[in-house]
A and B are shown apart, each in its own frame.
Chain A
Amino acid sequence: MERLTVDVAIIGGGIAACSAAVALREAGLTVALLEKRLCGGGASGVNFGGVRQQGRDFSELPLSRRARVLWDGLGAKLAEDVGFEATGHIKLARSESDMAVLEAYARDAAEYGLDLQLLGANALRAEMPWLGPAVVGASLSPTDGQANPRVVGPAFARLARRLGAEVREHAPVRHAAHDGAGFTVEAEGVSVRSRSLVNAAGAYGGAVAGWFGEAAPVAPLSPNMVVTEPLPHLVTRSIGVVGGDVYVRQTRRGNVVLGGGRGTADSVDGLARPVSATSLGAMDKTLTLIPDLAHAQVIRSWSGLDGEMPDHIPVIGLSASTPGLVHAFGFSGHGFQLGPVVGEILAELVTQGRSASPLHPFRIERFAAWRGPYRSEGEIEH
C-alpha cells in the first residue's frame, strides 16, 4: 500500500479533476489525484464534444464565458491538438414556438455578454442550404464550436504529471474521511493524507458528499452517441435543437457525430452502453435536419456515464459540512466546455476559499432538504 501526504487530494480523473490538479500545482500546492479507471475516460472522454455557451442555464453563463477564453489557448497549454474549432453552434427551431424560445433566450443571454444571431428561414437556408424543410429558423452563437473530447482529459492528466502531481489511475476510492486534522482517502493500492479534498467524482460525487453528511441527488446519465464514416465536408456548424433531442456535428476528418436520447447506465460497474433503438431514433431525427446524410454509413455507437442533478446544473463550491472539502460534480451532460475553468475555480476555492466566478447557484446546500433518490428522464442538451 502506497502512502502519500499532500496538500490536496482529488477524487476523480475527468477534465475538471485533472485541470484542478494542474491549477493547484501552478499555485504551488502538492497534489494527489485518484481515478478509478483512466483519466479522461469517463464522461469527459465520451461526450459529444460540443464547446457551447448557447443554451446553457443563465447561472452557468459566467463560467462558460470564462471557459471559452481558455479554449482558445488550450492546445498550446496542453501541447496537444485538442481539435478545437470555433465553428459556431447553431440551435435550430422546428416550429414557431421553438423560434419564440430562441428569441427569448437570445434577449436574456445578451445581458450576460453572449451575442446570439437570430436567423429566419430564408437567411438560414442561404447559409445552410442542406437543412431539411422541418427547420424554420435558428439562433447562431458564432464563438462556440467543437473539440475532440477523447484527447482533452488525458492531455490535462499528462500536464498535471509533468507539473509534479501524483496521478494514480486504476485507483478507485473506497472511502474518505476527515479526522479534525485533515483528510484520509483510501483508494485501491494507495492511501492519501491531505489538508484539502476535491470531490470531482462525477456520477459518484453524491456518494462522496454523503461520506461527509451532505445530500446531493445525482442520477446516472448516459448520453447515446453515434458516428458515421468520414464524409465530404457538409455540416459546417455544431448543431443543436430546441428541446435537445438531437445534436449533430462534423469533425475535421469528416465523421458526423450525432446524439440524442439515452443509453443505459449501470452505476454499479460504471459502464454505460448505447441502446440501439435510441441510436436509430437519433439517426431518424438527424435525417429530418440533414436529409443529404441519408446514404452515410454509421460505423460506431457509444455511451458514457455522467452525473445529472435534478435542476440540471452542477454542484460547485465549498462543502457546507467539512472545512477543506470542495465539490465539483453533476455536470448533467454539459460539463465538457466548462471543464478547464472548473479546475481554475477549484484551485481558487482551495487556496482562497472563494472564487472570482459567481458560484451561489451551484452550492450543495440547495439539496440539503432533499429526501430519497432521484431518477432522471427526459432530454438533456449536450
Chain B
Amino acid sequence: MSEPVPAEPTLAIVGAGPAGLRAAQVLTEAGLRPILLDEGHRAGGQIYRRPPPGAERPAAALYGFEAGRAQALHDLADALASQIDYRPDTMVWGIAPRAPFGFDLDCLGPRGHERIAVDRLVLATGAMDRTLPFPGWTLPGVFTLGAAQIALKAQGMAIGRRVALVGAGPLLPLVAHQYAKAGATLAAVLDVTPLGAKVTAVPRLALLPGTLAKGVWYTVAGALRGLPVRSGVRAIAVEGGRQVEALTWDDARGRRHRVACDAVGASFGLRSEAQAADLAGCRFVFEPVTRQWQPERSPEGRASHPHVYLAGDGSGIGGADVAELQGERTALALLADLGRPRDAAREARLDRRLARHAGFRAALDAAYPYPHHLVDGIGDDEIVCRCEGITAGTLRRAATERDAREMNRLKALTRAGMGRCQGRVCGHAAAEILARTLAVPVETVGRLRGQAPIKPIPLREPV
C-alpha cells in the first residue's frame, strides 16, 4: 500500500457473527481496538444466535450438534467485550467513500444517528435464506428455515404446533434435528434435491466436518428420529385460507402427498447479504455454482476496494466454520496491509484449512444441486416480490412486452425489489425468472444495485 498509514488506524467490523468475532479477535491480539458494529443485541450472529440473558438453557438443547462451536463463539464474544469498541443494536445503513481514503459509515443505534469515519472496513455481514416462490408461500405461517431455527434458538419457540420443513441444503437436516430434539411435532421433512446426488456424493462427503456430515447422513439414511426425510420432492404447495393448513408435494415418483400442518419452514440454500459491500464500492462477480453475485474476494479476504476486507457468508456461502477461518484470515491480511509483522506459518495454516473447506463445499454443492424444477414451476399468478405483491406473470410480461433485459430495469418497470426489503427476498427468483423468459444465462441479467438505507430507517430520528 502506497498511501500513508495512520499511526492509529480506525478499523470497523460490520457484523458480529463467527467471521466478525474472529476478525475482532485477531485485531485485538495485535493491540488494535476495532469498532464492532452489530445489528443484534448480543454478539453471535444468526447461526450462533444467543437466547436472552439470565434464562439460558444448556447450549446442547438449543443448538444440537452445533453446541460446542456456539459455546466457543459466545465465550469469545464475552472475552472480547473489554478489548473492542462493541456497538450492539447498531445498524450500518449507509457507506460512502471518504477522501483521501476510508469510509464514512452512517449508523443508527441506541444514540440515534451517528456518522463514523473509518480507515479500513471488515465486512462480515452474513447471509439470509435463499427463497423461491411456491403456491401459498406468502400465507401467515410460512417462514424460512432460518426463521424456524431462530425462533427456536433465540426464543425457545417453534413456528407452529405441527411444522413441515422444506429445504435444499444442509440447513434442512440441521433444523429438523433441532426441532425434533426440542420436542416439536414435525409433520414432514422434505428435501427438494434428489437423494441420488447425496448418495453419489457419499465418498466425498466422508471428508465433511462433523456437523455437516451428520446432517447429510440423516438425509441419506432417510430417517431423523423416526421421521422420514423425503428427498427428490417436487411441486411443493401450501394450502390454506387465512393461514397454513396443509403442505402438498409430489414425491420422486410423481405421486401427490398431503400433510396437515400449521406452519412451514422452507428455503433453498443461502444468499449473501452484500449490500454493504455494494455501497462501499466493491466489485461483484457471479458465482456459477450457487448462481449468485458476490463481492469479489481474494483468497486472503481482500475485496476489490483496497481498504475493504471480506469474511464469511456475506461474500460467498461457506458456512459458519469457514466464516471463522475467513474472519481470522482477512484480519491477518489487514494487519499485513498496515505494515504489521506477519506470521507466515499462521497464514499458511489458515490457507490450508480454507482450501480443505473449499473441497467440502464442492462436495456439499454436489449433494444439494440447484432446484431448477422449482423455478420452472412458478406460475404466472404467484407473487414473487412479497413486499410489493408483484407476480411472476408481471415479470415475464415485462421481459416479453416491455423490453426488460436487466434486473434494475425490471425493477423500475414492475416494482419488484422496490419494497421494504430492497429485493433481498425476491431478487434471486426474479433474476431466474427473467433469465428463463429471455432464454439467457442468469448472470447476463445482472443484479439489483444496493441503495441506502441498507434497511429501513425512521423519517424522524429516534431518541
A161-B403, A298-B457, A301-B452 given; name 10 further pairs at CB < 8 Å.
Answer: A38-B409, A41-B409, A228-B459, A229-B420, A253-B388, A275-B96, A276-B104, A277-B115, A297-B420, A298-B458
Contact bitstring B439-463, A, C-beta under 8 A = 1, else 0? 0000000000001110011111100
Would you call A181 an interface residue if the criterion is a C-beta within 8 Å of the partner chain's C-beta atoms?
Answer: no
In the A-B complex, the 6 residue pairs with the smallest Cβ-Cβ separation, listed nearest first, are A297-B456, A294-B460, A150-B412, A276-B94, A276-B106, A296-B459
Which of A273, A293, A300 contacts B418, CB < 8 Å?
A: A300
Q: Would A157 and B403 count as touching, CB distance under 8 A?
A: yes
Cα distance, A38 to B457, chains bound together (Å): 30
Which of B113, B115, B409 contacts A154, CB < 8 Å?
A: B409
Contact bitstring B412-453, A, C-beta under 8 A = 1, else 0? 110100111010000000000000000000000000000111
Q: Distance (Å) between the CB of B283 and the closest chain A CB?
A: 14
A273-B96, A299-B453, A301-B453 given; A154·B459 CB < 8 A: no
Chain B residues with CB under 8 Å of A313's CB are: none
Count of A residues near B, CB < 8 Å?
Answer: 32
Would you call A279 an interface residue if the criterion is a C-beta within 8 Å of the partner chain's C-beta atoms?
Answer: yes
Chain A residues with CB under 8 Å of B113's CB are: 280
Which of A277, A298, A301 contacts B459, CB < 8 Å?
A: A298
Contact bitstring A280-295, B, C-beta under 8 A = 1, else 0? 1001001100000111
Cα distance, A300 to B412, chains bound together (Å): 13
Q: Which of B402, B458, B459 has the most CB of A within 10 A?
A: B459
Chain A residues with CB under 8 Å of B415's CB are: 253
Would you call A151 an interface residue if the criterion is a C-beta within 8 Å of the partner chain's C-beta atoms?
Answer: yes
Q: Which of A286, A293, A299, A300 has the most CB of B within 10 A?
A: A299
Q: Which residues 152-182 in A have Cβ within 8 Å of B in the complex? A: 154, 157-158, 161
Q: List 9 A-B contacts (CB under 8 A).
A: A151-B412, A158-B403, A228-B459, A253-B388, A280-B113, A296-B459, A297-B457, A298-B458, A299-B453
A150-B413, A158-B402 given; A298·B456 CB < 8 A: yes
Q: Would A41 and B412 count as touching, CB distance under 8 A?
A: yes
Q: Would B452 and A154 count as touching, CB distance under 8 A?
A: no
Residue of B with least CB distance to A294: B460
Q: Which residues 293-332 in A have Cβ within 8 Å of B in the complex? A: 293-302
Q: Which residues 77-130 in B have Cβ within 8 Å of A in the complex? A: 93-94, 96, 104, 106, 113, 115
Cα distance, A136 to B451, chains bound together (Å): 36
Count of B residues near A, CB < 8 Å?
Answer: 28
Which of A45, A276, A297 contacts B458, CB < 8 Å?
A: A297
Residue of A with least CB distance to B404: A154
Chain B residues with CB under 8 Å of A151's CB are: 412-413
Q: Distance (Å) between the CB of A207 and the closest chain B CB?
A: 25
Chain B residues with CB under 8 Å of A300's CB are: 418, 422, 451-453
Chain B residues with CB under 8 Å of A154's CB are: 402-403, 409, 412-413
Q: Distance (Å) between the CB of A151 and the closest chain B CB?
A: 6
Cα distance, A298 to B409, chains bound together (Å): 22
Residue of A with least CB distance to B418: A300
Would you call B406 an interface residue if the criterion is a C-beta within 8 Å of the partner chain's C-beta atoms?
Answer: yes
Chain A residues with CB under 8 Å of B457's CB are: 297-298
Residue of A with least CB distance to B453: A298
Contact bitstring A104-129, B, C-beta under 8 A = 1, else 0? 00000000000000000000000000
Chain A residues with CB under 8 Å of B388's CB are: 253
Would you call A274 an interface residue if the criterion is a C-beta within 8 Å of the partner chain's C-beta atoms?
Answer: yes
Which of B418, B420, B452, B460 contacts A279, CB < 8 Å?
A: B452
